[in-house]
Amino acid sequence: MQDDISIRVQNLKGYYRGSFGVIHAVEDVSLIVRRGDILGLAGESGCGKSTFLKLLIGVPEPPLSYEGGEVELEGYDIWKMDYGTLRRKVLGKCVSYVPQSSCDALNPVLRIRQFIADLLKEQTGHSYSAKEIREMLVAHFASLGLDKRILDLYPHELSGGMKQRSVVAISTYLKPSILLLDEPTSALDVTSQKRLIEMLASLYQEGITKTIVISAHDLAILRQICNRIAIMYAGKIVEVGKMDDVVSDPLHPYTELLINSLMPLERRIKTEKLTALGGRPPDLRVPPQGCRFNPRCPSRMDVCMSKEPPLIEEDERLVACWLHCGRRQES
């Protein structure tokens, strides 16, 4: 069903080009996110999560450059649109992107409501008075459990968690059907993390945003809210599936190691010895031959060194690993 799909990514490629060489940060990524999914994007730092999200909204900043592939957001083929149309029709209205250091996105010399007035003027071409802004936003803030007094404050008067939640509230005011969040929780304390996750849940419940993509390196936090998860490693998606399935039975060796290296507050971590994932992520200027995970993989085979594994489907899950290609051929 065509209508069902919120985000469709086909062979997306994005490289960083500069004096340091060419970093193959996102290589041939294909992914489908259906409307109503809350997708988590997990992986180590430097695996291409942020780069992938930046490419999804079609406005890469140098040295990041778009190198091919297609991205369709709610039917808009964004890499075929010119920047003006993209900005007028898609950004903010159809898709909202909350970058990693979004706390710094607020203007330090403007009150939150003045900041919002600026944004709305940019988006709608109409200037609103302070009173109008307050009337428009009080309900939106209240529905997300935010105090309306925040509107009259300056960013420095807010804590990190409040800033983050205000940014998310502002970026969803125009009711974008897709919300992309890049590491929204990593700079926050545990209690603020929980409040942010609860707020995202209420955004989703009230139908303000229909599809959410959250990147994070902490799988435990994604586990709380996402129904699907995509695992990235060295610029590639290695596994996609339902959250419960992936956590309880990871197929890709990297997913398994990533889950085992987590330290959630559970009694088992004291009794079972946790193992570290040896080595370090590969240098993406010269990605390893074959499977990109092969230098660190505990179950490496000969084929992994020479040929790249395709992303194959197995029981409603996608996995890119030769272990599973073999299994399918046998059965």
Partner 1 sequence: MSEVLRVENLTKRYISGFVLTRKVVGAENVSFSIGKGEVLSLVGESGSGKTTVSRMILRLIKPTSGRIYLNGKDIFAYSIEDYYKKVQAIFQDPYTSFNPHYTVNKVLKDAANFIKMGSNDKSKSKEDAAFRSSLETIGLAADEVLGRHPYELSGGQMQRVLIARCLLIGPELLVADEVTSMIDASTRVAVLNELSRLAKEEKMAMLFITHDIGQAYYISDKVAIMEKGRVVEIGSTENVLFEPKSSYAKQLVTSVPKLHEKWELGLESIYRVD
Calpha distance 240→252 (Å, rounded): 10
- Only one of the segments 9-17, 139-147, 254-262, 304-312 lies at the binding site for partner 1 (rule: CB under 8 A); that segment is 254-262
Nearer to partner 1, 124 or 202 (CB): 202
**Contact at 8 Å (CB) between 30 and 11?**
yes
Kindly identify the residues of this chain, within the stretch 162-191, that bind partner 1 according to CB under 8 A. Answer: 189-191
Phi, psi dihedral angles at 198 (to 5 degrees): -65, -35
Interface with partner 1, residue 306, by CB under 8 A: no
Dihedral angle at the C-alpha atoms of 264, 269, 275, 276, nearest 10 degrees?
30
Calpha distance 53→287 (Å, rounded): 21
The encoded tokens of residue 98 equal 């909350």
Interface with partner 1, residue 63, by CB under 8 A: no
Interface with partner 1, residue 18, by CB under 8 A: no
Q: Return the amino acid letter for 111.
A: R
**Residues 6 or more apart in contact with residue 143 via CB below 8 angstroms:** 202, 206
**Of positions 124, 275, 289, 299, contacts partner 1 by CB under 8 A:** 275
Interface with partner 1, residue 242, by CB under 8 A: yes
Q: Return the amino acid letter for 61.
A: E
Nearer to partner 1, 120 or 294 (CB): 294
Interface with partner 1, residue 269, by CB under 8 A: yes
Interface with partner 1, residue 220, by CB under 8 A: yes
| Burial status of residue 87 (CB atoms within 10 A of its CB: 0-12, 13-18, 19 or more) | middle
**Of positions 316, 329, 330, 331, contacts partner 1 by CB under 8 A:** 316
Nearer to partner 1, 84 or 265 (CB): 265
Nearer to partner 1, 42 or 167 (CB): 42
Interface with partner 1, residue 201, by CB under 8 A: yes
- Only one of the segments 14-22, 36-44, 128-136, 282-290 lies at the binding site for partner 1 (rule: CB under 8 A); that segment is 36-44
Calpha distance 314→154 (Å, rounded): 51
Interface with partner 1, residue 34, by CB under 8 A: yes
Give the DSSP letter string of 97-149.
EE-TTGGGGS-TTS-HHHHHHHHHHHHHS----HHHHHHHHHHHHHHTT--GG
Shortest Cβ distance from residue 80 to partner 1 (Å)?
28
Shortest Cβ distance from residue 329 to partner 1 (Å)?
27
Closest CA to 176 of 188, 187, 168, 166: 168
Shortest Cβ distance from residue 165 to partner 1 (Å)?
15
**Of positions 194, 288, 301, 323, contacts partner 1 by CB under 8 A:** 194
Contacts with partner 1, residue ranges (CB under 8 A): 34-38, 44-45, 160, 189-191, 193-194, 197-198, 201, 204-205, 217-221, 223-225, 227, 242, 247, 257-259, 261-267, 269-270, 274-277, 280, 316
